[in-house]
Amino acid sequence: MRDKTLPLLLLATWPFCDPANAQVCTETIPAIATIIDTDGPWNGSGTFFWVCGGTNVTFNNTFGIVYVEEGCDIVINSIGGGIYHVKGGGSVTINTPGVQLAHAPGTSVINNAGSGTVTACSSMTFEYTNAPVPGCDISTGTIASREHRVGIRSDPSNKVIHLDGVSGVQAVRILDTMGRIIRTPMPPFNRVEVRGLPPGAYLLEVQWPDARTLNRIVVH
């Protein structure tokens, strides 16, 4: 028997744009999102999906909530539609009814189904506080390396973060959860100052010549 609970739950999250705020759209990437970083058809199951920048995906059997980074070409063939939040620079082709789409400027939309909801936002912003790490690189929209790992230890004074496994690291940056650069520490990178940062969650970006990782840190 088909489970009817999931579609009802997903539809309850709509609308995701605030009409009173000039269609400024903001969405939070959930920790349980499935990362999609390779081109091709997607037939996997799940509830939340995070498509990395520059990835071209055809959704065939997916009903869920999809977050799409910049520069992606998306084709939606999924029966039952789904909810799509799309940044600009790419395209969305809708071939099935019931799709709910919100997109940023610069997105080409072809609605062959002739139904569903398409909302043009003045901007589309993703909030990364709970996003899975490693995940899509929020600076470039590409996938973060899964081959590099950094050990993080907080100093009892909460003024310094100690990093293990930073051999060969070229740069470290502290970002806010919207991906904006807050601080760029100088080497050596095994010791990162967080003194003076307001309490809250941040992203610690570590860059190698061939890889990049994001780690969530909390300053108290």
Cα distance between residue 197 and residue 5, in whole Å: 43
Cα distance between residue 84 and residue 53, in whole Å: 15
Cα distance between residue 71 and residue 136, in whole Å: 13
Place of tokens 């055809």: 58
Q: Which domains does the chain have, with CATH numbers?
A: 5-127 (no CATH), 151-219 (2.60.40.3080)
Residue-level pLDDT at 210? 74
Residue-level pLDDT at 76? 94
pLDDT in single tens digits along all 220 residues of the chain: 434 333 333 333 333 444 444 478 889 888 888 899 889 998 877 789 999 888 999 998 767 899 999 889 999 998 777 899 999 889 999 999 889 999 999 999 999 998 889 999 998 988 887 787 667 766 555 555 445 667 777 776 668 888 887 888 899 999 887 778 899 999 989 889 998 999 888 888 888 887 777 777 888 8
Residue-level pLDDT at 102? 94
Cα distance between residue 106 and residue 118, in whole Å: 14
Supply the DSSP symbol for 52: P
For the entire predicted model, the pTM comes to 0.62
- Alpha carbon dihedral 166, 170, 172, 178, in 10-degree steps, equals -120
How do strand 108-111 and strand 91-94 relate by DSSP bridges? Answer: parallel
Cα distance between residue 34 and residue 97, in whole Å: 24
Cα distance between residue 185 and residue 51, in whole Å: 30
Residue-level pLDDT at 78? 82
How do strand 151-154 and strand 34-36 relate by DSSP bridges? Answer: unpaired
Sign of CA dihedral 194, 219, 149, 57: negative
pLDDT in tens, 3-61: 433 333 333 333 344 444 447 888 988 888 889 988 999 887 778 999 988 899 999 87
Q: How many CA atoms lie within 13 A of 38 on its CB side?
A: 4
Helix intervals (H) in the chain: 5-11
Supply the DSSP symbol for 36: E
CB atoms within 10 A of CB 195: 10
Residue-level pLDDT at 105? 92
Cα distance between residue 114 and residue 184, in whole Å: 48
Per the CB < 8 A criterion, the answer to whether 47 and 143 are in contact is no
